[in-house]
Structure 1
Amino acid sequence: MSALLHPLAEKALAVRARSSGRAILGITGAPGSGKTTLVRRLLAALEPVMPGRVAWLPMDGFHLADSTLRSLGRLDAKGAIDTFDGYGYLATLRRIHAETTHTVYAPDFDRVLEQPLAGGIAIPPSTELVLTEGNYLLDGSAPWSSVRAELAEVWFCDVPDDVRRERLVARHVEFGKSPDAAAAWVESVDEANARRVQSTRDRADLVVETTVAAG
């Protein structure tokens, strides 16, 4: 465990210890702020300590399918808050708390297909701590304002804007966009979303500097 992540892993364990039932720890931040990499490193640090008792629920699985976005006229805004099934995400968080005697299945997201995959994530009865990450966990609009009540804590990933934008362009190129198209998407779509997410920073329980991480 690195010097950076050791105290964060300890904090995550403390979140679990303070909860009477299952604990859900939210990781939020603007697109490209390092959420996914932070969660992966936390999972790697926590799994040896609590084997089979920690799970990961990315909010990305609740993206609306491209066919649905096309019918709504929102395909060119994919990633905006209204292009997610927020009520489905909220219902899944509530199921995770309430349904502890059987496996809870949730959608995953395929980065190559850029589509959600039904039932791609399994949260078994043994799970005690769920790490969930996504952009809008602290947003004040419905239904997102109700999401916060399901989370024991929310940590905000913070990174300089130039680093974040560079990561986003590289990610879009990796998954098929040309460099010019990737840069245009970041400026026209991702940055508007980022401004909305960054406005929620002060609502977080902890701000994590993620300059060394990507995601």
Structure 2
Amino acid sequence: MTPEALASLIRARAEDQPGRFLTALAGPPGSGKSTMAATVVQALGPGARAVPMDGFHLDDRVLEARGLRSRKGSPETFDAAGFLALVHRLRDEEGEVAIPIFDRAMELSRAAADIVLQEDRFLVIEGNYLLLNRSPWADLRGLFDLTVMIDVPEAELDRRLLARWAHHGKTPAEARAWIDGNDLPNIRCVQRESGRADISLRWDA
């Protein structure tokens, strides 16, 4: 399914539903969630907005205090309860909602860095753990109108992640160590512990 086809499906599903239509776009690290979300939002046009889960990363200082810095990106390194509260607001409130955005260049989240406007009806919420079958992540499922899982073979994810970390300045050895010690466990967590999505698709981003 192309992003344009997914956008058409979202519009069709939302046609008879009042209020905001929330689509969950889940997938493991390196699956192209952010790119897919941006492309779907562009295809949907005015009134659509992407909402990334990454804004709820715990700060590195908190992770270091908890001994979790080397596992950054795993489920326990996010403010899952805060993210759940945000999705409830997006589901229940009609007005503007401020959302945090993760700044990858600075490696930290910026509070209220974007605004979901009152007229934003189609929200594409993207993140690794949107369909995870563990508390409190499992409480998200009932808030989504449509769930999508991006399916990419592990070997391709590995290739993409090596390129990503090289781009961010890691040496090949550093990238390999980070992927093996952190990204791969997170990939397998998403693959093995996520519930079934309404749609499973391949995205060659």
Shorter-chain TM-score bucket reads over 0.9
Partner of 2:75: 81
Could you tell me the TM-score, scaled by structure 2's length? 0.95
**Percent identity between the aligned chains?**
36
Give yes or no for the alignment of 1:143 onto 2:126.
no
Q: Does the aligned pair in 2 maintain the 1:22–1:127 contact within 8 Å?
A: yes
Question: CA separation in 1, counterparts of 2:184 and 2:91?
Answer: 33
Q: What is the identity, as a one-letter code, of the residue corresponding to 1:46?
A: L
Give yes or no for the alignment of 1:176 onto 2:191.
no
Q: What is the identity, as a one-letter code, of the residue corresponding to 2:103?
A: D
Alpha carbons of structure 1 residues 181 and 43: separation in structure 2 relative to 1, 3 Å: same
Partner of 1:44: 42
Paired residue for 2:180, among 187, 196, 205? 187
Question: CA separation in 1, counterparts of 2:195 and 2:78?
Answer: 23
Partner of 1:22: 20
Q: Does the aligned pair in 2 maintain the 1:57–1:121 contact within 8 Å?
A: no
Partner of 2:121: 128
Q: Deviations over 1:6-39 (max 9, x none)?
A: 3212112123225332111000011111111111
Q: What is the identity, as a one-letter code, of the residue corresponding to 2:82?
A: G
Note the residue ranges of structure 1 that are not aligned, 5 or more in a row. none
Q: Deviations over 1:127-176 (max 9, x none)?
A: 11110110111111111010111111110001121111111111112122
Q: What is the identity, as a one-letter code, of the residue corresponding to 1:67?
A: R
Q: Does the aligned pair in 2 maintain the 1:57–1:130 contact within 8 Å?
A: yes
Alpha carbons of structure 1 residues 202 and 100: separation in structure 2 relative to 1, 3 Å: closer
Task: After TM superposition, give the deviation of residue 106 of structure 1 in Å.
Answer: 1.0
Could you tell me the TM-score, scaled by structure 1's length? 0.91
Q: Which runs of 4+ in 1 moved over 3 A?
A: none
Q: Does the aligned pair in 2 maintain the 1:58–1:133 contact within 8 Å?
A: yes
Q: Count matched residues.
A: 205
Q: What is the identity, as a one-letter code, of the residue corresponding to 1:141?
A: R
Q: What is the identity, as a one-letter code, of the residue corresponding to 2:3?
A: L
Q: Does the aligned pair in 2 maintain the 1:106–1:120 contact within 8 Å?
A: yes
Question: CA separation in 1, counterparts of 2:99 and 2:33?
Answer: 19
Note the residue ranges of structure 2 that are not aligned, 5 or more in a row. none
